[in-house]
Amino acid sequence: MTSLFGMPPEKGRWVFVVLGLIINLWFGSIYAWSVFVEPLTRFFTGELGQTVTANDVLMPFSVYLVFLALAMPFTGRIIDKFGPRNVTIFGGVLVGLGWILASFSTSVLMLTVIYGVVGGIGEGIAYSVLVAVAACWFPDRRGLAVGITVLGIGFSTFFTANIAGYFIGVSGVMNTFRIFGVVIITLTILLAQPLKFPPPGWAPEGWTSPVWKPGDVCACNRARMLRSSSFYGLWACYFIGCLAGLMAISITKPVGTEVGMEAGLATFLVGFFAIFNGVGRPFFGALTDRITPRTTAILSFLLIALASLLMWQIPIVPIYILAFAILWGCLGGWLAIAPTTTGNYFGTCDYPRCYGVVFLAYGAGAIAGPQLAGFIKTSTASYIGVFPYMLALALVGIVIAFILVKPPKLSPR
């Protein structure tokens, strides 16, 4: 291959990263769901006369994330058959249809099934492809490329929350669902057109794999990965990192008010912390390239432990801002560390199916994190009680990372 987008492949491949970033920017609108909670509650209770609480309206958000995680392990087979462009378009259309069809919901259950299940499956499919494309084109700088690709998800709340708020005010919550759906379908179809994997055996000029030669048969498939202790170490660390991060995200605003912050400022800081969530992805991705996955994982857990200890012992506003910036950044970091490590340890020719199983740790964390935070709040009457548990989890993560997160002893055949 002599050129890519009219440039040498080493430069042209960055176009795939930019395309993935832009698509993910709109896929990440799920994380702006809190903007929809109050308008949806008013819609169901006021216009439809139903008894609906804010907690009920949070259910589509949780279901969406669960089905996003569940869909990813099954994406590999359809990518092999239909290619990354067609599968990304298929997934993006499902996401858009989830938004559009949800606008006709007449109950929270209907909203949960249509938006949560259809949209979540669609994003799980498309997101998996975008990460796989970046991982395969950048064997030499995989962490940085994957980190930038998923940067869109991290930054999304900062942009889409304001866009959603504007359209809700102008045209109502259900019309906003339709607008988002149309935009997502249109952008995905347009931007996915160039997506493809590199030719078999391709490698950046001047780069040689430190473990397997370019063009080797897949170093590892999913079945072989599941027999490796390195997989279980990575999965456990990913689970702990996501559990801690999603727990922090779910309680960001109430913890701010608990430490004495004005409610409006606490709301503003949710968008501010999203910047750290976005920046954490390329930052930790690049670190994974430079200082190994194990060292990066341990560093992440050390930061989580530090933030948790500070919040536990010194719950004041300046510490709150510092600690939650760290926690949001580390959550973003794990969404780059895990996919990068999967490619580095287990190869890329079966990457979508391998990372799909690893990503289930995120889905488990999405369920366990907020639920654990709620249980601790009920038990201790304060969200500050969450942080000793978060500290303990981080220390467990350090031990697991040190013992198990290391290159597997696998032959390339």
| Per-residue model confidence as pLDDT tens digits over 321-340 | 999 999 999 999 999 999 99
Give me the residue label for tokens 């996915």: 192
Residues 236 and 187 in one domain: no
List Cβ neighbours of 402 (8 Å cut-off, separation of 6 or more): 294, 298
Rounded to an integer, the average pLDDT of 206-234 is 72
The answer to whether 244 and 393 have CB atoms below 8 angstroms apart is yes
Residues 163 and 102 in one domain: yes
pLDDT (0 to 100) of residue 31: 78
Residues 252 and 158 in one domain: no
The CATH number of the domain where 270 resides is what? 1.20.1250.20
Tokens for 279? Answer: 């920046």
Residues 179 and 242 in one domain: no
pLDDT (0 to 100) of residue 220: 67
- Mapping DSSP to helix (H, G, I), strand (E, B) and coil, where does residue 33 land? coil
Domain range spanning residue 312?
Answer: 222-404
Helix axes 317-346, 142-149, angle to 10 degrees: 120
CA atoms within 13 Å, Cβ hemisphere of 86: 8
Lowest mean pLDDT among 161-170, 204-213, 267-276, 396-405: 204-213
- Mapping DSSP to helix (H, G, I), strand (E, B) and coil, where does residue 139 land? coil
Task: Please check whether residue 206 lies inside any domain of the structure.
Answer: no
Rounded to an integer, the average pLDDT of 370-391 is 86
Task: Please check whether residue 113 lies inside any domain of the structure.
Answer: yes
Cβ atoms within 10 A of the Cβ of 215, count? 11
Rounded to an integer, the average pLDDT of 222-244 is 93
Residues 177 and 275 in one domain: no
Residues 165 and 304 in one domain: no
pLDDT-above-90 percentage for the chain: 51
pLDDT (0 to 100) of residue 210: 57
Task: Please check whether residue 216 lies inside any domain of the structure.
Answer: no
* Cross-strand bridge partners of residue 49: none
pLDDT band of 55, cuts 50, 70, 90:
low
Given a cut of 90, whether residue 298 has pLDDT beyond it is yes
Candidates 130, 125, 59; CA nearest to 96 is 125
Residues 88 and 132 in one domain: yes
Task: Please check whether residue 197 lies inside any domain of the structure.
Answer: no
Q: What are the distances in angstroms from CA 83 to CA 76, 190, 285, 348, 373? A: 10, 16, 26, 15, 41
| Per-residue model confidence as pLDDT tens digits over 69-104 | 888 888 877 887 899 999 999 999 999 999 999 999
pLDDT (0 to 100) of residue 216: 41
Given a cut of 90, whether residue 244 has pLDDT beyond it is yes
Residues 269 and 339 in one domain: yes
pLDDT (0 to 100) of residue 161: 79
Domain boundary (152, 168, 191) is at 191
Candidates 71, 160, 156; CA nearest to 332 is 156
- Mapping DSSP to helix (H, G, I), strand (E, B) and coil, where does residue 4 land? strand
What is the residue-averaged pLDDT of the chain? 88
Task: Please check whether residue 205 lies inside any domain of the structure.
Answer: no
| Per-residue model confidence as pLDDT tens digits over 118-161 | 999 999 999 989 998 998 899 888 889 988 998 888 788 778 87
Residues 308 and 388 in one domain: yes
Enumerate the H helices of 103-172 as residue ranges.
Answer: 108-111, 120-137, 142-149, 151-171
pLDDT (0 to 100) of residue 52: 80
The answer to whether 294 and 405 have CB atoms below 8 angstroms apart is yes
The answer to whether 162 and 45 have CB atoms below 8 angstroms apart is no
pLDDT (0 to 100) of residue 213: 45
The answer to whether 407 and 345 have CB atoms below 8 angstroms apart is yes
Candidates 339, 356, 274, 375; CA nearest to 67 is 356
Domain boundary (139, 174, 191) is at 191
- Mapping DSSP to helix (H, G, I), strand (E, B) and coil, where does residue 105 land? coil
Residues 42 and 180 in one domain: yes
pLDDT (0 to 100) of residue 54: 61
Given a cut of 90, whether residue 249 has pLDDT beyond it is no
Residues 299 and 172 in one domain: no
Domain boundary (171, 191, 211) is at 191
Rounded to an integer, the average pLDDT of 211-219 is 45
Q: How many domains does the chain have?
A: 2
Given a cut of 80, whether residue 20 has pLDDT beyond it is yes
The answer to whether 107 and 50 have CB atoms below 8 angstroms apart is yes
Task: Please check whether residue 256 lies inside any domain of the structure.
Answer: yes
pLDDT (0 to 100) of residue 229: 93
Task: Please check whether residue 200 lies inside any domain of the structure.
Answer: no
CA atoms within 13 Å, Cβ hemisphere of 258: 19
pLDDT band of 212, cuts 50, 70, 90:
very low
Task: Please check whether residue 3 lies inside any domain of the structure.
Answer: no
- DSSP conformation letters of 329-355: HHHHHHHHHHHHHHHHHH-STTHHHHH
pLDDT (0 to 100) of residue 215: 40
Residues 398 and 340 in one domain: yes
